[in-house]
Amino acid sequence: MQIEQRFLKYVSYWTTSDEDHTTDGNTRIPSTDRQFELGKVLEEELTQLGLENVTLTDHCYVYGLLPATPGYEDRKAVGFISHMDTAPDYSGKNVKPQIIPDYDGEDILLKGNGNYLKVSDFPSLKSLKGRTLITTDGTTLLGADDKAGIAEIITALEEIISSGQPHGDVWVGFTPDEEVGCGADLFDLDYFKADFAYTVDGDYEGEVAYENFNAASATFTINGINVHPGEAKDIMVNAALVACEIQSLLPSDETPAHTEGREGFYHLTDMKGNVESASLSYIIRDHNKNIFETRLNKLRTLEIETNQKYGSGTVSLTITDSYSNMLEIIEKHPHVVDIAKKAISAAGIEPLSRPIRGGTDGARLTFMGLPCPNLGTGGYGFHGPYEHISVEGMQTAVQIIRNIVSITAEMN
């Protein structure tokens, strides 16, 4: 199957995960049963390709093994991992892709809502001129994050098998719930016996990323005192106003809209409430571990000071760690990055390593003992209606995966 067809098939499945994924205090994985629909398809495809150890687990993890070519059994086992879910930030249901052959490098009308995918907002579009571009119609996200990665991995497997390319053991894994921070929670490293692996979950197809944010989520729960406004003096505590006050005390220029590169931020993702109760939800990010801890301590200080001002129990803060910067582990395994860079160069493009302004399953898996940098998919503008990818970018990503398999097979 051509990669374009495979990708369009996968994005037709509604696999959006759910941020509200706890029941009775326990995390549900997968957070949405609809992810099983794609999981079943992938299980079947891996089986039809002739992989061994293919399974779809009760928690919607898909695994498979392409056994080593005879004579290559002693080579290092490499793995490739992508996630099935799409982000809950925007609708992933009823995706209607727009396919634009020989893209002219100009702004693109998204026919579903009349908005434009603008070169001024996404300058990288200029570099995609002449390619076959796939965009959304403006009413949903596309799902290239990370169904492009899945399509690239399976297409690479298909080409390796059909061409007779020699290889050591090649493991593949497809996870649920990466977008809500749980993709690695139940990943079975006793089953997935790779020596090292790569998530295929980035943007520029020549990217190999191995430095990501330290990350946590934080929630302020605010309890107000609600009385008649005519008799409220020195009694009422307006929870909604307290929430506004807490937000006002955070640095206004340390948000995603004002930061780049390794600069961290406080990101207010949800705010709701009334006089009686309110809540603020944040994600906290920073590449520097010490600055990251300073950010968390800032929130803890706000909790203490707000309770001192309005009374004990007015505010409670819950902080949940998400993932850590994989750089400190990957630095001990430089060959994993070197292999990827060599594979990218062999595909005729320039390797690029940038700090990830986010996280991947690979960050968690690296700390679990599986060194796992992140490769690009060729997609851009993830998590919203401006998501786009080129067929040629996906084809290059396939070649890079194949090159990594070849390089690994040549290692003693």
* pLDDT score at 113: 94
Mean pLDDT within 310-327: 92
* pLDDT score at 24: 58
- In this structure, the answer to whether residues 337 and 263 fall within a common structural domain is no
Whether the pLDDT of residue 395 is over 80: the answer is: yes
Tell me the pLDDT band of 355, cut-offs 50, 70 and 90. confident
- In this structure, the answer to whether residues 346 and 361 fall within a common structural domain is yes
* pLDDT score at 344: 98
- Length of the chain equals 412
* pLDDT score at 21: 75
Mean pLDDT within 270-291: 95
- In this structure, the answer to whether residues 218 and 207 fall within a common structural domain is no
* pLDDT score at 338: 97
- In this structure, the answer to whether residues 234 and 281 fall within a common structural domain is yes
* pLDDT score at 93: 95
Average pLDDT of the chain is 95
Mean pLDDT within 347-362: 88
Specify the pairing of strand 315-323 against strand 379-380: unpaired
* pLDDT score at 330: 95
- Tally of domains within the chain: 2
* pLDDT score at 126: 96
Last residue of a domain, one of 281, 298, 323: 323
Percent of the chain past pLDDT 90, that is, above it, reads 91
Last residue of a domain, one of 263, 289, 323: 323
- In this structure, the answer to whether residues 8 and 101 fall within a common structural domain is yes
Whether the pLDDT of residue 22 is over 70: the answer is: no
Tell me the pLDDT band of 44, cut-offs 50, 70 and 90. very high
- In this structure, the answer to whether residues 199 and 310 fall within a common structural domain is no
* pLDDT score at 23: 60
Mean pLDDT within 199-221: 94
Helix H, strand E, coil C: the string for 190-204 is CCCCCCEEEEEEECC
User: Which long-range contacts (C-beta less than 8 Å, at least 24 apart) are formed by 71-76?
Assistant: 71/166, 72/166, 72/167, 72/168, 72/409, 73/168, 73/169, 74/168, 75/167, 75/168, 75/169, 75/408, 75/409, 75/411, 75/412, 76/168, 76/195, 76/196, 76/408, 76/411
- In this structure, the answer to whether residues 124 and 224 fall within a common structural domain is no
Q: Whole domain around residue 268: which residue ranges?
A: 214-323
Mean pLDDT within 117-140: 97
Mean pLDDT within 367-391: 96
Residues serving a catalytic function are 85, 178
Mean pLDDT within 71-93: 95
Last residue of a domain, one of 273, 294, 323: 323
- In this structure, the answer to whether residues 284 and 402 fall within a common structural domain is no
Mean pLDDT within 156-174: 98
- In this structure, the answer to whether residues 107 and 245 fall within a common structural domain is no
* pLDDT score at 323: 83
Whether the pLDDT of residue 389 is over 80: the answer is: yes
